[in-house]
Structure 1
Amino acid sequence: MSDRLAVAKTYKLYLGGKFPRSESGRTYQVRDSRGTFLANAAQASRKDVRDAVVAARKAFGGWSGATAYNRGQVLYRVAELLEGRREQFIAEVAASEGGQAKRAQAVVDAAIDRWVWYAGWTDKIATVLGAANPVAGPYFSFSVPEPTGVVGICAPQSSSLLGLVSVLAPVIASGNTAVLLTSQDRPLPAITLSEVLATSDVPGGVVNILTGRTAELAPWLAAHADVNALDLTGAPKDTIADLEEAAAGTVKRVLAVRGNEPDWTKQPDVSRLRRFLETKTVWHPMGV
């Protein structure tokens, strides 16, 4: 029997491509489905939310201005790195969500496949969701989808990886940047994903990941004037009405799930890609 003490891991936030400690200096314990201590996670504050939004806004111009083909390449690279850390994700999903290793393996494989699926959509969005409009007159009329901007995401609470990927990937695939609040009690897969993003080709600030109390952080995200849209999938159900009211003050697009979380194992459609896009219509006279 070894008498050495295990070195407990204390994870940090992921902001602007870096790993700072929470401005508040707070941490909280992360435990597995049986209550066994796993690690300490940073407990983000209002200041951390503001810093994350600043980083996301700074990165938006470059990310939204990149070619769709390039964004697809970048997202596919993330999938390659997810595959390389597959065993670690399986262990963390099994610890976070309970169940057998075989189920955790299926969840991780589905998450990697879903990331690839959204990577493949980046250069098809304009064709499928845009249009050349028939008009009466000597004009061309085109409808073109464009990213909304900075999207705040409350990640699903129960599905720590597959649900996380299902809400994050379409946001950045469509050219937006994201500030993501992880599952409060199951943050480890999201933290490991942040390590993957940091070593991938995703520019710093495109994805910013905050751990902590969702009910504490979500109101600051909803009321922030520089956040353009809000996904409340993982927000506490009794706070959704208040968050929608706060978001209305700056006319945000809001996606709220009031019933049970979606079945993340089902094949996705383009609804989440469409949700955080703006359609711009351009008229141009013929012969000019």
Structure 2
Amino acid sequence: MNAVDRLSVFKTYKLFVGGKFPRSESGRVYEVTDAQGAWLANAPLSSRKDARDAVVAARKAFGGWSGATAYNRGQILYRVAEMLEGRREQFATEVAAAEGIPRPKAAARVNAAIDRWVWYAGWSDKVTQIAGAANPVAGPYFNLSTPEPTGVVAVLAPRDSSFLGLVSVIAPAIVTGNTVVVVASEQAPLPALSLGEVLATSDLPGGVVNILSGKAAELGLPLALHQDVNAIDLTGADGELAVELERAAAENLKRVLRPQPGDSGKGAWSADPGTGRMLALVETKTVWHSMGV
């Protein structure tokens, strides 16, 4: 059969929850278009039940991931970067279509995203060195402060940076031992859903990263109110939604990472990320121990 005689095989995009690829329990989908309005694919329209299932998966994975050695987490994250490197062309195509930019510019953003993933992987066994301390005290004691992961983090991914921004909010959360539930950009979810395929074929344990596609306004509130979510990153929330979710998170004392000025607009996510996002999602534990004298 000639190639021109073949039927087109369209890619089916699914959610990524607990290391598996379920459809939305509601059965809903929505059309994803490119910057010119042309149809690209159907994406699952996640429900509140999907969000709750993702939190359950993230909590189940938290013990093992946070308990792994920092060196091991770094190795696993570097393996993810290796897998991304092998699929650069696919991601460049998806980013170009999603963001309406020329293919070379999209490829440059994909390269920057992979480099950033490697950069965060390298921080896995160094965070404690910069965020921990041996504190001076009066008396025969050691007083040590060390950073620990906050727990399950809900992340509203950037709306206008479908891959570089996405990596820039996921990697700093999980490198320190947190697990995440990510709500992908509603307008450009395909790179995020494809990232789930990469994570599933790397060494990352199922449930460490869970990716939902759909409406941030519909999924954000149940995540902000969820008692088993410890922190929420509001990067992808606009002004009114961010205020609503911050108020909801305050009801259960959730840690909130607010949108930052550099998270949108020209040049967003291109600057040196620094350590701010990593340190915003850890808690400091201080231990006293006698010197035995």
Considering the TM-score relative to the shorter chain, is it more than 0.5? yes
Aligned residue type for 1:115: W
Does 1:175 find its partner at 2:184? no
Q: How does 1:74-93 map to 2 (within 5 A)?
A: 74-93=76-95
Q: How does 1:128-207 map to 2 (within 5 A)?
A: 128-207=130-209
- Structure 1 counterpart of 2:42: 40
Distance 1:79 1:166 in 2: 13
Does 1:253 find its partner at 2:255? yes
Give, in angstroms, the shift of residue 50 of structure 1.
Answer: 0.3
Query: CA offsets per residue over residues 173-202 of structure 1, 9 Å max, x none?
Result: 010000000000101110111000000000
Is this contact kept in 2: 1:10–1:42, CA < 8 A? no
Deviates more, 1:151-160 or 1:91-100: 91-100
Unaligned runs of 5+ in 1: none
Is this contact kept in 2: 1:29–1:40, CA < 8 A? yes
Give, in angstroms, the shift of residue 237 of structure 1.
Answer: 2.0
SS at match of 2:263: coil
Unaligned runs of 5+ in 2: none
Is this contact kept in 1: 2:147–2:284, CA < 8 A? yes
Query: CA offsets per residue over residues 253-288 of structure 1, 9 Å max, x none?
Result: 001116562520111100001000000000001117
- Structure 1 counterpart of 2:275: 270
Give, in angstroms, the shift of residue 6 of structure 1.
Answer: 3.1
Aligned residue type for 2:284: T
Change (3 A) 1:258 1:117: closer
Aligned residue type for 2:78: Y
Query: CA offsets per residue over residues 186-227 of structure 1, 9 Å max, x none?
Result: 011101110000000000000000001111110011000000
TM-score w.r.t. length of structure 1:
0.97
- Structure 2 counterpart of 1:282: 287
Q: How does 1:56-67 map to 2 (within 5 A)?
A: 56-67=58-69
TM-score w.r.t. length of structure 2:
0.95
- For these two proteins, the number of residue pairs brought into alignment is 288
SS at match of 2:172: helix
Is this contact kept in 2: 1:21–1:42, CA < 8 A? yes
CA RMSD of aligned residues (A): 1.4
Aligned residue type for 1:277: V
Query: CA offsets per residue over residues 88-118 of structure 1, 9 Å max, x none?
Result: 0111110101121111111000000000000
Give, in angstroms, the shift of residue 3 of structure 1.
Answer: 7.0
Q: How does 1:82-121 map to 2 (within 5 A)?
A: 82-121=84-123
Give, in angstroms, the shift of residue 7 of structure 1.
Answer: 3.7
Aligned residue type for 1:200: S
Distance 2:6 2:141 in 1: 77
Change (3 A) 1:2 1:172: same
Query: CA offsets per residue over residues 112-148 of structure 1, 9 Å max, x none?
Result: 0000000000000111110000111111000010000
Is this contact kept in 1: 2:262–2:269, CA < 8 A? no
